[in-house]
Each structure stands twice: as C-alpha cells, then as structure tokens.
Structure 1
C-alpha cells in the first residue's frame, strides 16, 4: 500500500522533471543559420604604389526558430590547421555583444573579410635609371587577387554561440569548403 502511494506521488513529479529538462535543453532551442555571398574581391591603390587586396563575404545570420537567441558571439575555428584569416575576428573586434539577440525569423547582416597589402615591387614592372625606380605601366602579376588569395578562403569554420531564454547555450557551426557550405546545429561546443 505504501509503495502505491509513493509511486502515485513520485511519478508525476518525475514526469514533470523530465518534461522540464526536455523543454529547457531540447525543445526551446533557437536555431541560427548563416548564409554567405560569393567571394567579393577588391583591389585599391594606396600611397607609395602599394595595393590593398581584399576578399570579403556578405553574411546573413537568421534565427530559424520561434525562440529568441540571446547573447550571440562568433569565433573562427582553424580549418585543416590553416591560420585564421578574417581580420576583425582575429583582432577580436566584436561584431556581436551581450545585448545582441535575434527574435523569431529576425536576421542580422554583417561582413567578414581579409586583406593583404602588397609592396610596389611585388606588383609593378619597373626599371632603374640613374639609381631611380621608374615604374612601367602594367603589372608583373596579371591577376594579383588570384595570386595573393589566402588558401584559408577555400575552407573555413565559423562557430556561433548563443543562449535560449533559460540561459542554456547552443551552437551553430558553419562550415565552408570549395564546393559546399552548411550549418550544423550543436548542443555542445565542438572540440577541434
């Protein structure tokens, strides 16, 4: 008789606890997805005949769930042991802060980029007359954006960390390779 009473009292409590845990850690899960543009290269000349070569991507981070994603942060993860390439992520310039959050179907647009500054002698043809460099029209390297393009742009990983309204962390790992890009939704931070 005592077992029946204990079971009758504990069973609903146990079921309620299970439902609470499932809602907190599984059901009430925001899902952030990243979409990026094709690579957008640019080239500009600065003082002393130097060139700044830039490769950038326009990004859209969207919340594809009905739950708010709070305190969004982003880090770059090394791809195939290559060095990190995105300037503002590597320099710890925060694109997002503790107040950054995305409601249902809301999105944020931002840009990620990397750049390379060349010395004039790397790109321009020149001759030396009377100990003075005279630059000749034309480039030594016909396509400097292709020549100096970082290998890391062939593949990279971006990890987004965010929280639901109960303060439970979730992750989206964005993986880009030469041919594909995809989002993986994770409950725990990946180990690389």
Structure 2
C-alpha cells in the first residue's frame, strides 16, 4: 500500500539530495521538450526527478509497439498519445510539478507561443527537417531561450563517443554527431538513454549557472 507523500515532504527529500540553493533554481525553471520519443521521454523523466518546476511537453504521435525498445513507455501505453502516456508516469514520480502537454505537431507558427516561457528547450526529434526548423525558430524567434539539441546516437558504438558541445551562444549539441539512424539502421536503448542523459545534464548545468558542457 502506498503512503501519501505531501509536497513538503517530497520537496524536502529533493533538497536533502540536491542542496537548498540548487533545488530552488531547479524548482523555479520552465523547460520545453520538443518530441517525446526515445530522447524526449527519457529527458522528461530525468528532469522530473530533479524537481524542475514546470515542463512543457510536446508531441503529435501515439505510442506504438516499436517504441518500447528505447522510449519511456509501457505495454499499457500503446495507442495513447505520447504526451498523455508520459504525463501519467511523470505524475507518479512527482505530482507536484507543473506539466503542460500539447498533443500536436510543432510548426513555425505555434513554436513561439508554446515555448514562450521556457528558458531552455530540448530538441528531441527524429526527423532532420524538423530539427532544422525548430533550431531556426528558437534561435531567431525565442531570444530568451537556449536550445539543447541531439544528433548521433544510433548503433552500438561506445557510449564514450557521445559528448556535449557548445556550438553557438545559445545552442548545445549532444551526441556523437555521426551515427544517423538512416545510415546505421538501429536505435538501442542504452545509447539513446546516454544521449538523453547528456541533454538532461546540460539543462541541469545551465539552470545551475554553468554554461560549459
């Protein structure tokens, strides 16, 4: 039987592990995640465990059987919209955070409004054109936001090849930069999760005032 945990108790537990100053910064933050597949779903779970105060979660897709090898979903989630299925899990991790979900396809027209309050946006798309579109929109239309993007996590090469690099003043890139799914043909949970952890770590560092990868 589950014991009811209050918001104060959960916040105290996070503060005990993270430190009061760090937790205060994390709790005040608003982070956007564009795409809730293998990258985005895992990034969201890690940010929720950090106690990031508000998460804006966006994806137009539904959970499929082929997603379960690497994405943070379960058999019981198949057929549900990804934002809905992920929200159920996040609320079980920390029900006291603010979650804003959007079941839609991101476009140049809706990106500025959806992510207007986000200091950091995580690009977690599979499609190269969508990645380029989001990058352009954030850098041109959302000057208050930093973009943490991902590229190169396919295959079974060493996890040590996955790194985080600062590409522009407001752009960080996580991945090995080479192993594209269209070339390698495989996406395996450990490497995808490592890249997601790199992105979540960069978000954490930025929120805590660190600008270097």
TM range, normalised to the smaller chain?
under 0.3
TM-score normalised by the chain length of structure 1 = 0.24
Q: Which structure has greater strand proportion?
A: 1
Name which one, 1 or 2, has greater alpha-carbon Rg: 1
TM-score normalised by the chain length of structure 2 = 0.22
